[in-house]
Structure 1
């Protein structure tokens, strides 16, 4: 019989091959296996799982629940090989329900203001990069990390297509571009090569230092752009983030479909694929997270009822 360590490694390999990255969960499971080996158990028990999950003392109960969830999912896998395995029940350290904070949704006017603010950044390369970077995210809904990870070979501007590789779920996808977006990226490409003819990276988007953009330098610059664009929120509401450009794209697309009286249910899988969601169910989140879409959906339903009565 394989050891618990060998089974844990097999479990992580299988799930990662299915597209799950499991960076945090993998570290947690490694720590739990080390904890078990120190106790020299003959099998995984609920007692041991709980003792490890509630470490460290005084931590947030939500953290304890997350740790136990990692063990619970592994225990279900382990139980198929070792019938002595005890699976922690789901009501043991349950996750506390938390209200999802709705994303900040940028208006077209605010996106234009951000682009103008980027245009006025003092550093020429940083200015060109963020003008194009913000425009691309707003026009395609790419994840921030996906846009940062784009290499020059991933951008086929002759065909107007981006290749997005190594996504959140380990899959790649092609993202068609609107002609105006393709033209804007081509303008940036020419300007970038003039300002930095010998970069040290294959990245499509360059920082002011000529390196690949990262979340730290992008967030700092974006905070400055928000201030320059006079985009603020009342206390207690979600603060605008760079990632919210993705949410804004998705919500605007859905809202436009409702306005045009399109068949949203049939178009949603296409939007899900375009955004790189693992399934349309993930895209449906926007319907309950955004009040304006809930209103549009309710109006559509009410009209259907009236027409059928």
Structure 2
């Protein structure tokens, strides 16, 4: 009876998988999420003496993450990363069967994310204002961060989409930006108004003096550096802290933009087009926190009891 081939060293093969993900044009955020999940799982297996390509091991790891206080959505993403890795190993002929087929992801809680209030938004933008005697770096950061916040707030674009914008994608005069590659590889054209255009223009003028001004990227880091998703998360978190907003994360801007669009009377179809949603259930997920309040305001405007 022929012997089964030895299990591959999935830690050694990890760089090859990352190369494959890049070739498939996965977003930097997806690649990071998947590869981080694989590294965490491999490290856990080594510490626990567990067999990596084993259903029981994956379930034990998932349970350990949940027991450790990780959010179900985070654990779901971690598990998905490993399942994607196993599927790639099978496609590449490194294993003869996928051990994780049929494993169910953790059940997600039906969470509700409250949008930022108008007062919080004003405080957040005010936190970006450089002082009268600000040095060039503070001036640069302040104008950049205000432009980013206004663009996120008005368009509802994802943080990763914002970071990826290039100068060539921007039409300030026309009030439009092209999201070249949104989630799922889908691009779209996104409009914005004069206040956002003004903020971006003010940033662009100080950007012209940056050491990397010739870079195609719209957003640049201070002190001669580039600007990444992690940099956006860090700098906006610092602005929120200065504004006294404890519950801030970049994704809350997407929830807030969606709520403000509908509260102002915008259509659901228009919001889906601008935000890059293809399914109505995603729109409901992002806007349900204030759905009752919007319905009450709409009912008052309609005044259907006036007979």
TM over 0.5: yes
Tell me which residue corresponds to 2:157: 142
Distance of aligned partners of 1:302 and 1:85 in 2 relative to their CA distance in 1, 3 Å threshold: farther
Deviation at 1:269, TM superposition (A): 2.3
- Residues 71/197 of structure 1: CA separation in 2 closer, same or farther (3 Å cut): closer
Q: Name stretches of at least 5 consecutive residues in structure 2 with no aligned partner.
A: 1-7, 9-16, 42-52, 67-71, 91-96
Output aligned runs, 1:9-28, within 5 Å: 24=33
For structure 1, the residue ranges without an aligned partner over 5 or more in a row are 33-47, 79-83, 234-238
What TM-score do you get using the length of structure 2 for normalisation? 0.65
Deviations 1:19-44 (CA, angstroms, capped at 9, x unpaired): 99576558979999xxxxxxxxxxxx
The structural deviation recorded for 1:57 is 9.1
The answer to whether the Cα contact below 8 Å between 2:147 and 2:200 also exists between their aligned partners in 1 is yes
Q: Is the 8 A contact 1:119 1:127 kept in 2?
A: yes
Task: Name the residue aligned to 1:158.
Answer: 173
> What secondary structure is seen at the aligned counterpart in 1 of 2:259?
helix
Distance 1:244 1:217, change over 3 A: same
In 1, Cα distance between equivalents of 2:143 and 2:301: 47
- How is 1:1-309 mapped onto 2 (pairs within 5 angstroms)? 24=33, 50-54=55-59, 56=61, 59-60=64-65, 63=75, 67=79, 71=83, 95-100=106-111, 102-120=112-130, 122=134, 123-193=138-208, 195-196=209-210, 199=213, 201-229=215-243, 231-233=244-246, 239-257=247-265, 267-288=267-288, 290=289, 292-297=290-295
1:110-165: CA deviations, max 9, x gaps? 22222222112642211221122112212221212211211111112232210112
CA distance in 1, matches of 2:251, 2:163: 12
- Deviation of residue 299 (structure 1)? 7.5
What number of residue pairs does the alignment pair up? Answer: 263
Structure 1 residues 206, 27: closer, same or farther in 2, change over 3 A? closer
Q: When the two structures are superposed, what TM-score results if normalisation uses the length of structure 1?
A: 0.64
1:152-193 per-position Cα deviation (integer Å, ceiling 9, x unaligned): 111122322101122222111111121332233223212321
